[in-house]
């Protein structure tokens, strides 16, 4: 199936390495103009270069309301209203309740939740003013569906993204703006490069491998395309079957279900 995003304008937050970069490149290859965001200008530029001639860097802090409004306004004036938003930016601090600091908690939850809120508000406001339909995809996580040790802030933030998606989908439906989420499993290096991809275990993934950035980029491409025009408020799990299981022991272990 061929997806045609010609004439569409996309903003991908956290478009540095891994999932965000693949999403930006995939949308650009399908014909969209793509703004590649990252807090670090060099990562935004690298993502835009990787995505090709239809992509441009747009570095700004997604947790700063003034920066968000200015960036989205500037981008809209240059290339037209953003009608595809991928809230992908995220950060994690691998600590539990008693070891994470208040500052670390706020860093994680603000980046993931507040960033998605601010960017969505800026984009939706301009789409409504322009009376133009659109599509938003929030990048959630399998961790948002279940508890996980030493991930108290990340699990909380990603769990919130799942319900943010549903609430926003209902609110935006009258304006023909669709909102969905994608839940990746372990993919490449972990968020914030806490460990290398080679060191990551995938015993709990029934399909027997780590996710690849392109797996999630393909899901995002489908959800923002016209082929998904009657889909809103759902979470598409791109997790190799991870959430189909109840445990985290190896799926090849004959005693795993005992």
Which CATH number fits the domain that encloses residue 218? 3.40.50.720
191, pLDDT greater than 90: no
90, pLDDT greater than 80: yes
253 exposure class (CB count in 10 Å sphere: 0-12, 13-18, 19+): exposed
Range of the domain at 149: 9-244
- Note whether residue 252 is domain-resident: no
pLDDT tens across 109-119, in order? 999 999 999 99
How high does pLDDT run on average in the chain?
Answer: 92
247, pLDDT greater than 70: no
**100 compared with 247, residue with greater pLDDT:** 100
- Note whether residue 4 is domain-resident: no
The pLDDT value recorded for residue 196 is 53
The pLDDT value recorded for residue 203 is 82
154 catalytic? Reply is yes
For residues 120 and 168, the answer to whether their CB atoms sit within 8 Å is yes
Residue 19, number of CB atoms within 10 A of its CB: 29
Q: What percent of the chain has pLDDT over 70?
A: 90
The pLDDT value recorded for residue 182 is 98
Report how far residue 19's alpha carbon sits from residue 217's, in angstroms, rounded to the nearest whole number: 7
Report how far residue 61's alpha carbon sits from residue 91's, in angstroms, rounded to the nearest whole number: 13
219-246 mean pLDDT: 96
- Note whether residue 207 is domain-resident: yes
- Note whether residue 251 is domain-resident: no
61, pLDDT greater than 70: yes
DSSP code of residue 245: S
- Note whether residue 1 is domain-resident: no
The two structure tokens encoding residue 79: 């290339």
Q: Are strands 33-36 and 177-184 parallel, antiparallel or unpaired?
A: unpaired
Where on the phi/psi map is residue 194: left (φ > 0), alpha (ψ -120 to 50), or beta?
A: alpha
Report how far residue 227's alpha carbon sits from residue 223's, in angstroms, rounded to the nearest whole number: 8
249, pLDDT greater than 80: no
The pLDDT value recorded for residue 255 is 42
The pLDDT value recorded for residue 201 is 77
Report how far residue 154's alpha carbon sits from residue 186's, in angstroms, rounded to the nearest whole number: 14
- Note whether residue 256 is domain-resident: no
Give the containing element (helix H, strand E) for 74: helix 65-79
The pLDDT value recorded for residue 194 is 43
- Residue from 3, 35, 117, 154 carrying the catalytic annotation: 154
123-150 mean pLDDT: 97
Nearest to 161 by CA among 175, 177, 182, 178: 182
Nearest to 112 by CA among 131, 93, 133, 84: 93
- Note whether residue 179 is domain-resident: yes
- Note whether residue 257 is domain-resident: no
Longest Cα pair distance anywhere in the chain, in angstroms? 60
Q: How many domains does the chain have?
A: 1
The pLDDT value recorded for residue 188 is 72
195, pLDDT greater than 60: no
Predicted model pTM: 0.92
Give the containing element (helix H, strand E) for 20: helix 19-29
61-80 mean pLDDT: 98
For residues 236 and 165, the answer to whether their CB atoms sit within 8 Å is no
């Amino acid at each position: 199936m061929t997806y045609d995003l010609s004439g569409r304008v996309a903003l991908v937050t956290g478009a540095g390495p891994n999932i965000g970069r693949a999403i930006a490149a995939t949308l650009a290859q399908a014909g969209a103009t793509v703004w590649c965001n990252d807090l670090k200008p060099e990562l935004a530029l690298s993502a835009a270069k990787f995505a090709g001639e239809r992509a441009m860097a747009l570095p700004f802090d997604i947790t700063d309301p003034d920066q968000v409004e200015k960036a989205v306004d500037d981008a809209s004036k240059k290339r037209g209203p953003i009608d595809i938003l991928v809230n992908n930016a995220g950060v994690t601090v691998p600590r539990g309740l008693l070891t994470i600091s208040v500052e670390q908690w706020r860093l994680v939850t603000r980046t993931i939740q507040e960033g998605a809120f601010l960017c969505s508000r800026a984009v939706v406001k301009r789409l409504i003013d322009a009376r133009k339909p659109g599509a938003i995809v929030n990048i959630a996580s399998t961790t948002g569906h279940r508890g996980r040790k030493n991930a108290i802030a990340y699990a909380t933030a990603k769990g919130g993204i799942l319900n943010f998606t549903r609430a926003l989908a209902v609110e935006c439906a009258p304006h023909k703006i669709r909102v969905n989420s994608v839940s990746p499993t372990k993919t490449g290096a972990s968020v914030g490069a806490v460990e290398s991809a080679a060191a990551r275990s995938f015993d709990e993934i029934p399909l027997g491998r780590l996710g690849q950035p392109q797996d999630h980029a393909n899901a995002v491409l489908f959800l923002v395309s016209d082929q998904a025009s009657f889909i809103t408020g759902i979470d598409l799990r791109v997790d190799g079957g991870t959430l189909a299981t109840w445990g985290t022991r190896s799926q090849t272990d004959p005693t795993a279900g005992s």
